[in-house]
Amino acid sequence: MSDKENTPRPGLLRRLWRAFWSPSGVLSTGFLLIAGFICGILFWGGFHWSLELTNTEEFCTSCHTMETNLGEYRETVHYNNHSGVRAICSDCHVPHEWQYKMKAKIMAVKDVYHEVLGTISTPEKYEERRLEMAAAVWKKMKASDSRECRNCHAFEYMDFTIQETRAADNHQRAIDEGMTCIDCHQGIAHDLPPGYLEEYEHVVEELAGEVRYRGEEDLAGIRSYLGTAAD
């Protein structure tokens, strides 16, 4: 008896922790299950909803550093075209598959960090860093076989007979040699910095060494394409 009076009353956190783990005396299992289920749905819906908010063009360009890209992209076919289908920032830069989407969102925390640091806060700084940023995007696209482009485009759905000859020839070649969209379509939405071909080659070489993603043939194919494209 005296024992109980002498021990000091545990702190608030401790008491909450104990209450959290002790069996509920007043609520039935069914009540708890249904309540937990409803809270789960609400939580997940809210989570998903706010995640989608971060996929809008408004969100991306709420940082003025991203407006350079917005301006350039507005001049391209992905902004305005005869079919009226628009690809927005997240269509090309954020994967659909859940785990890759989460990964992209977590990696984007560095955008906030660099925004605070002001890494690309002036047009001069931006241009200086563009090659490096573009290379980061290329690396992701090359490694994922241009997954985001393929959410909308696919070789299988292309009618080569109505494509320009140059396009159809190159796409046939891409299928034969296992090349991916970004191998030939760099600069599809933004201006390209000088020296981009060399940098792209470097990215491909690095990936080929690192992941053994594809054989040497692939690299040779891209080299020869880049060679002819530069002519």
Partner 1 sequence: MLNILDLLGTIGGSILGLPGILGTGLGMMTRNWFVAAGLGGLIGLLSPMVLGGSHSTHVPITLTEYAVSISVGIIAGLLGCAIRHKGATV
Instruction: Report the interface residues with partner 1, using CB under 8 A.
Output: 21, 23, 95-104, 106-107, 110, 136, 139, 143-147, 150-151, 154, 211, 213
d(CA 124, CA 72): 16
Half-sphere exposure of 57 (CA within 13 A, CB side): 13
Q: 200 near 138, Cβ under 8 Å?
A: yes
Residue 35 vs 222, nearer CB to ligand HEC: 222
Scored b (16 or more CB within 10 A) or e, 170-205 reads: bbeebeebebbbbbbebebbbebbeebeebbeebbe
Number of residues near ligand HEC (by CB under 6 A): 71
Residue 75 vs 97, nearer CB to partner 1: 97
| Binding positions for ligand HEC, 113-142, rule CB under 6 A | 114-115, 119-120, 129-130, 133-134, 136-138
Q: 193 near 130, Cβ under 8 Å?
A: yes
- Residue 143 has φ and ψ, to the nearest 5°, of -65, -25
Least CB distance to ligand HEC at residue 16 (A): 36
Residue 93 vs 202, nearer CB to ligand HEC: 93
Residue 63 vs 143, nearer CB to partner 1: 143
Here's the x/- map for ligand HEC, 146-185, by CB under 6 A: it reads as: x-xxxxxx-x-------xx-xx--xx-xx----xxxxxxx
